[in-house]
Amino acid sequence: MAVTNAPPGYKFTEKHEWVKVEGDTALIGISDYAQAALGDIVFVDLPKVGKSIKQSDSFGTIESVKAAEDLYAPISGEVVEVNGNLSKNPAAVNSDAFGSWMIRVKGINSSELEKLLDPESYRELVSKLD
């Protein structure tokens, strides 16, 4: 059974995206488990600043040498920042899944956060996938 990294302060979806609230905004990215399953990431397509995203809807794509996958929003909000480093260095997600956030959103709905998995529940979910 693989142990997955799921740090405190993060919430997770069953599709392996994470969200971390910082004040009135939130960072969104993919989990350590997701980046390992994808393999070497070669491209990340992210929305433009100003785009509204809805919880559970696709907000972009991530491509690896193995597959292309949609990215699903763990929460709704308006994109206020995109991690431009990922267009130049998409493999940063492989080396630091939690440091390599993808988008920052504002307009956080706390009831949506309550539907997400805490780190312990996420680790339990991932342990069943092995």
* Domains of the chain listed by start with CATH number: 12-108 (2.40.50.100)
In this prediction, residue 8 carries a pLDDT of: 96
In this prediction, residue 4 carries a pLDDT of: 75
In this prediction, residue 98 carries a pLDDT of: 96
CA distance 54 to 56: 6
Beta carbons of 106 and 80 less than 8 angstroms apart: yes
In this prediction, residue 1 carries a pLDDT of: 40
In this prediction, residue 2 carries a pLDDT of: 52
Beta carbons of 77 and 107 less than 8 angstroms apart: yes
**From first to last of its 130 residues, what are the pLDDT tens digits of the chain?**
455 789 999 999 999 999 999 999 999 999 999 999 999 999 999 999 999 999 999 999 999 999 999 999 999 999 999 999 999 999 999 999 999 999 999 999 999 999 999 999 999 999 998 6
CA distance 9 to 35: 19
